[in-house]
Structure 1
Amino acid sequence: MYDIKWIRENAEAFDTGLKRRGLSPLSKSLLDLDDTRRSAIAKAQNAQERRNALSKDIGKAMGAKDVALAESLKAEVASLKELAPALEAEEKAAVEALNEQLAAIPNIPNDDVPEGADEHGNVVKSTHGEKPEETGRRLIGVNKPKEHYELGEALGQMDFETAAKLSGSRFVVLNQQIARLNRAIGQFMLDVHTEEHGYTEVNPPLMVRDDAMFGTAQLPKFRDDQFRAGDDHWLIPTAEVPLTNLVRESILSEEELPRRYTALTPCFRAEAGSAGRDTRGMLRQHQFEKVELVSITTPDKSLEEHERMLACAEAVLKKLDLHYRVMTLCTGDMGFASQKTYDIEVWLPGQKTYREISSCSVCGDFQARRMNARYRSSEGGAPRFLHTLNGSGTAVGRGLIAVMENYQNADGSISVPDALVPYMRGVTKIEKA
């Protein structure tokens, strides 16, 4: 969310940033709304100041025994008092109209973000490893790699049909060793980030209020993509929401920063805008698990923290010996709250394509303004807004998909990556029971 004062002082830069997002200039319409707000505030203040002045004049008139003047002044006070509710309503409406518009505008991209209309404008930042089918290290004897759902159903440990009976489409029932492998992947990722990367583990609520969803910008724009839980709660679409909101409405000291949080949670998304996409398998589900990374830091450290967060997410895939590439998202493919985003795309032999498994974003003070989350510099002065970052460290379900497809064997079994064997109690291969 934006500071209208900043827009007034930087109207050209604001409109230029929106243009890079593919949006029309908005500074004039916003400043017109702000002028209306200012005018409404001024009218209410002038009326109140007039009432205060009249009260003093009434006292003087009464002291001078000028009854006629006193009554005239009292009549004007009464008239202004009657007008007050309308002036207050006008001011409230003007403030709400401006805030509604500001809340619907996406964050401005950093200068180094590549321009583009959609995912085709994304740029490869780096690549790690090689495709296993090209190295001869894995997929030995596998002439045509299968997709994860083919492997899971053949093993009798991935059941979409029963899940549909229970909950409808975009759900799955995992069982036996694949269920254990899914749990192992989540625990492994969480341990890496807490023990090696210094993130603090959090077990947050899975339901949050409107204010928390607004703070991280899921509301109001993405309301249809969320699951409502009762009258005043939402199921979290990602642990980014509760983790980032841990600092809402607070003023931290600079010495407390950075704060780094991680959580392994179920996530819930309506996927309202994805009808017909990825309907087979586990790629796009209403319920999934993810290890989330959130950093809270100062403005001068946020870009450095962004690179660090990316490295932490990459470390997980390196330990699992998975081939992936890092993409710098273009202006047309970035998330609503992001200033800059890196996507990590893992190679899936069954699909013969790269698929996103992590997205790491720096949001600047965009979310902090919505949450009123600030810090006080060690040098003193007025509190400043914090910078927030979030990323997947990584998606557990997509991690499971990647392991299954990259470690499949010619007989339909799945080898367990070395890093996960301790979490599988020594099991090195998943076979049909």
Structure 2
Amino acid sequence: MTGRSISLAVLAAFALSTPALAQDVHVSPLAAPDFFSTGARETGLGADLWRGASGLTARTVLPLLAAKPLSPAAQALARRVLATGASGPEGAGQDPGVAGARVGALIAQGGVRDAAVILSRTAGLEQNPVLAQAGAEAALLSGEDEAACAISDRLVAGREEVYWLRLRAYCQLKAGNSGTAQLTFDLAQSQARDAIYGRLMGAKLAGAGDPGAPSLRNGLDYALSRNLGLPVTGAAAPAVAAALAGSPAASATWTVEGGPGPVKAAMAALAAGDLATAQAMRAGLTSDTIPGATITDLALLDALLSAASGKTDPQTLDRLIERGAAADAKTRVRAQQAALILAALGAPMSPQARGQFAGFTAGDAKAPVARAFALDIAGAEKLQGETALLALWISADAGAAGPAAGDRARIIRALKAAGLEEDARAFALEGLLALR
């Protein structure tokens, strides 16, 4: 066979084999980004935070956290969980709408700086109006109007929505394009008239006149009010209130009166996060008879110290149970609820104490039974993200004062079982401080 014949034979064999080779080549589309994997800081929680968590629960709870005030313990839990980088809840990690709700909730609960970090690390922000709006609001609440305007300029989808029309009018005016800003403002008002935005932006466009009272409904109203030189005080939406309060501490703290008497002073130190001072003050109280305090007050202080230190002991719980079984009606309720909270942290009971405890009637619960049951299951299965979401759902329904004693005890027990012991102690401290 000649060289030419060999070459033709080789080419023919290759041509015949090509379809077979092509059949073995599989092209897979790139997986959609998991928006929850982008975190803001080290929170002490792992990459498996959302293992087994329900996407439906996330879609339900996250908007609630953006709209409703929470107690300090619940706020700290929300900030910790939402700032963590971990693959998202089932079916929700690739959803930009849920990712936007996560950031919105983080902003509303005081994590404006964390939200800004997450958004700065999120690719394709301008591709989704929900995520982009969260980014714009975070910038406006941080006083970075130019950054918000840059997000608006880069937005690809949803530019015709009224939020973006309002923001664009503000940005155009700041850039000196008053004529264009007026046209955009008129378009926004024709699409969805808003009296508050109308008077603020109208005064800004006119460059004169009385703009009226400031508005703190959202980041854009806040930016307009600030730009007009109005006092940014008064009733504010959760996100704006959080921005005005500044960056919160990583752990929950409470402000309580420090007196009268040494017992109340020690409780105030604990509320402020100063465990060492509270322990030193308690060590100086060598008698059960203390000015300005009852036996129940002292038992409650011991319960607070036990919860704060994470060292629960049967003696402290036994004293509370004894007071809950024998004291007058008003004191009995306080002692019974305190015992319920400390027991939820895992303090052991003697058989006698357990028998008395079983007869307690204080500690009502308000959460739906199914939700409380789901919380128990999530905690027992150590589903940290799911447990946190359910605890926050109950907390959001309860408001700024925090959950009822019965619900709080279920939350504490579930958080501890799931491995969120720091957060369980915070909920316990908060509940005990409310009984002081």
User: Does TM-score exceed 0.5, indicating one fold?
Assistant: no
- What is the TM-score normalised by the length of structure 1? 0.24
TM-score normalized by structure 2? 0.24
Flag the structure with higher strand content: 1
